[in-house]
Chains A and B, each alone.
Chain A
Amino acid sequence: MIFFKPKSNFKIIPTEKAAEPKWQRILFFCSFLPLIFIGAVYFYVFNKINSLNKEKEFLQGQIITISVDPKNQAEEKKFLSLKTQINDFGSVFQKHQTVSGIFSLIQDFCHKNIQFTSLTMSLQEGLLELSGRADNFVALSEQLIILREWPDVENPQISDIKLEKDGKVNFRLSFNFNLAILQNKKDE
C-alpha cells in the first residue's frame, strides 16, 4: 500500500469559498466606465472632424468659385487697371512742373531799359539762360543787382557783353532758379 503524505492545509471536510470583497466588484464594473467614456469621446471627435472636413471643402469650393468666376475676374482686372492708372498718374503728377510761370517771373525782375531777345530754360537743371539788349551799362548793372537780391534766384551771371554801334549793350545772362517758384507763379 502506498500512502501519500497529506498537505498541511488539507482538510477532509470542505470549507466555504471566501467571497470576493465588495470593492473588487465595484472596481470591476467601474473599470468599464472610462472605456465607455473614451469610446463616446472618440466617436464624437471622429464625427466632428468629418463634419469640419466637409465644411472646409465647402468653403474651399466657395473660394474657388469666387476666384474663377469670369465676371469677378474681369471686374478685378478693371479695378486693378484703374487703381494703377490713378497711382501712376499721382506719381507722374508729383514731378510735374508748369513752365508758363517763368514769363511772369521774367516780367517781374526785368529792368525797364532791358529787352530780352532769346531764352533757354532747362527744368532739369533749373537753369535759365537769356540773351538781351540793354540801353546802357547802368541798366545792365542795375539788372544784375536786382537779380542778386531776387528771392529764389541763385548765381546770376552776365557774360558776352558787347557794345553795339547804336550804343546799346548786348549780353548773355544766366542763373539758377528754385523750381518751386513756377508753382507759386501758377497759383498767383
Chain B
Amino acid sequence: MNKLFFSMFFILLAFGLLLFLIFPSLNVLEATKQEVKLKAKELQNKQLNRDFIFSSLEEAKNYQLAIDNLNSALPKEFFAPDLFGFFQEMAQKSGLIFDNITEKQNQASGMEPNEPTQLIEVIKEYNFVLQVKGSVENFIAFLKKIETSGRFVEISGFSFLNKETMSQAQAQEASLTEFSVEAKVYHY
C-alpha cells in the first residue's frame, strides 16, 4: 500500500517538476540561445562593417586625386579670400580684368544632410556677385574655365553691357565690356 502511495507521489512529483522547473528552464534556454544568436549576428555585422570600412578606405587611396577634387569642390574650411584669389587667377588666365567681388546674403543650402548623424555638417552656400571686364570671347573662356575647374561654382545668372553702344565718348574711355556674374559656392 505504501509503495503504491509513494509510486504515485513520485510520478506526480516528476510531473510537477516537469511543469514548473524543466519547461521554464527550457524557455530560458531558448531565449538565451536566441540572444546569443543575435549577439553573434551583431558581432558579425560589426566585423563586416569594419572590414568594409577598412577595405573601402584602402580602395579610396586609388582615387586620391578625385577625393582631393571633392575636397576642393566642397571644402570643410572656407576662406573668402581664397575664393577671391581663385577668381582673380581665373580672370587673369582668361585675359579679363578682375574688377570686383561682392558678398550676398548667405545661408545654409537648404539641402537635407545625407546622413542623420552628428558627424554630418550641413552644406552652406556662399553667394556672391563677381564683376570682370574684357571681351566676350575672353568671358566665354572664363566661364568655361570655371565650369571645368576643381572649385565647384554654381552660376545662377550673369549679365553684360557693351559700352560701345551706349555712347561713342564713353567707348573711347572704356571700350571693355563689363560682366557681372551671380554665383555661389558650397562649403561645410
Contact = CB atoms under 8 A, between A and B. Distances in A.
A86 B70 contact: yes
Nearest to B54: A75
Contacts of A12: none
Contact of B39 (A25, A63, A118): A63
Interface string B150-177: 0010111111111011000000000000
Given A83-B115, A119-B159, A42 B74 contact: no
B33 A96 contact: no
A30 B71 CA distance: 81
Contacts of A24: 3-4, 7
A90 to B, nearest CB: 9
Contact of A97 (B18, B42, B155): B155
B65 interface: no
Interface stretch (A31-39, A135-143, A146-154): A31-39
Contact of A92 (B46, B74, B147, B155): B74
Contact of A88 (B26, B28, B111): B111
Contacts of A98: 147
B6 A100 contact: no
A89 interface: yes
Given A20-B3, A95-B154, A88 B40 contact: no
A180 interface: no
A157 interface: no
A85 B122 CA distance: 11
Interface in A26-59: 27-28, 30-32, 34-35, 37-38, 41-42, 45-46, 48-49, 52-53, 55-56, 59
Q: How large is the interface on A (under 10, 10 to 19, 20 to 34, 35 or more residues)?
A: 35 or more
B119 interface: yes
Contacts of B104: none
Contact of A87 (B50, B114, B119, B154): B114
Contacts of A123: 155-157
A28 to B, nearest CB: 4
> 6 closest A-B pairs (Cβ-Cβ)?
A34-B14, A31-B10, A87-B114, A120-B159, A59-B39, A100-B143
15 contacts: A31-B10, A32-B10, A53-B32, A55-B36, A63-B42, A75-B53, A80-B120, A82-B57, A85-B70, A87-B115, A88-B114, A91-B114, A96-B152, A99-B147, A117-B161
Interface of A: 20, 24-25, 27-28, 30-32, 34-35, 37-38, 41-42, 45-46, 48-49, 52-53, 55-56, 59-60, 62-63, 66-67, 72, 75-89, 91-93, 95-100, 103, 117-124, 131, 133, 186
